[in-house]
Amino acid sequence: MLQIAFIRENKTEVIAGLKKKYFKDAESFVDKVIEIDQYRRDTQRLLDDILAQSNTKAKEIGQLMKAGQKDAAEEAKAVTADLKLKSKDLEDKLAALESELNETLVKIPNLPHYSVPEGRTAEENQNVFEHGSTPILHDGALPHWELIKKFDIIDFDLGVKLTGAGFPVYKGKGARLQRALINFFLDEALKAGYAEVQPPILVNADSGFATGQLPDKEGQMYFASADNFYLIPTAEVPITNIYRDVIVKEEDLPVKNVGYTPCFRREAGSWGADVRGLNRLHQFDKVEIVQIVHPDTSYETLDKMVDHVRDLLYKLGLQFRILRLCGGDMSFNAALTYDFEVYSAAQKRWLEVSSVSNFETFQSNRLKLRFKSEGKTRLLHTLNGSALALPRIVAALLENNQDKDGIKIPDVLVPYTGFDRI
């Protein structure tokens, strides 16, 4: 959430940033926020003035009573009673204005970093790095949704029986490949200095609000109505919320956490080639890296997190590219995002496997996540990234490493799988 003082003092910059993200009616919306804030501040000043008058009168009544001037004291009491009524009305008005201001502020997305390219759609994202060449597959090569049937390693029909569409069952070497990838990603993060946590996969509404999933993404999350809990869309939510309402010691920065969780998304897309098989699921596994850092170092940290994900894809031997997202394709919360896509040789298309983002103070303002520096309390910067999401990684590994007799497992995974072929 943007800070109202920043909006008030940087109106032109805020409007330009919102327009870059294609936020509807940016100028009028910012004017509305500033207007509500002005009413709030004016009301606060009136309330402060009346409370000061009331305190003065209270002292005056005491002095009059000591002096035996009961009539004057009674008159002063009548004035005090009137001031209390006025202060109560102003307190109610102030509470309503603060509520209206907060409800309006949470609708404003984060501002994009200056390096974010102009553009409305994914086609306008900026390709900043590309590695590898497209594998040449044998005649009759299959997409992964056919390969998994051929080798009986992932069963979508069984998932429909147990739950519904978008909930696959991993079997045999398919299950072992999942576990191998999870352990490999976790081990690589531990080597990079991340501390592992295993958080809950259900969170309360306060957690959803603090990281920006609520009130923006209710429709994308599964909701357990009996307990008012949400199934997490990503481990970012519980891991970052570990530090909600926390003042971190400056000497303890950066905070680096990694966690594996299943993730849940209600909206898995409509039927079509782009969402077949593992391309889009309601439940999937993901390893997430999260950092909480000093504001002065967050973009250096973002580059290091991008390098970490890049190294994972190098080791898996996948062709990939890195995209800097344009303003119109960025998430509500992010100031700058890099997407990683791997190339699927059988599908002949790019598949997104990771987003790595800097949120600057947008989440920490909601989280009340701060640190003290030179006697002042300041907001920290939060960052996270998929390192990595499994489904499309598995799809690309199966498709790109297939031959006429089976599928070769990347060398780096063999110690984890215990086999080198499917």
Contact 167, 411 (CB under 8 A): no
Give, rounded to a whole angstrom, the gap between the first and last alpha carbons of the chain: 48
Nearest-5° angle of CA 44, CA 49, CA 53?
Answer: 145
Annotated binding site for L-serine: 234, 265, 288, 384
Eight-class DSSP state of 410: P
Nearest-5° angle of CA 357, CA 358, CA 364?
Answer: 125
Q: Quote the CA–CA distance of 235 and 229 in Å, as a whole number.
A: 15
Distance of CA 261 to the CA centre of its chain: 15
Annotated binding site: 234, 265-267, 288, 352-355, 384
Q: Quote the CA–CA distance of 328 and 162 in Å, as a whole number.
A: 38
Annotated binding site for ATP: 265-267, 352-355
Task: For residue 215, say if its preceding peptide bond is cis, omega within 30 degrees of 0.
Answer: yes
Contact 51, 87 (CB under 8 A): yes
- DSSP string covering 60-79: HHHHHHHTT-HHHHHHHHHH
Eight-class DSSP state of 221: S
Distance of CA 218 to the CA centre of its chain: 13
Q: Quote the CA–CA distance of 395 and 148 in Å, as a whole number.
A: 9
Q: Quote the CA–CA distance of 99 and 387 in Å, as a whole number.
A: 38
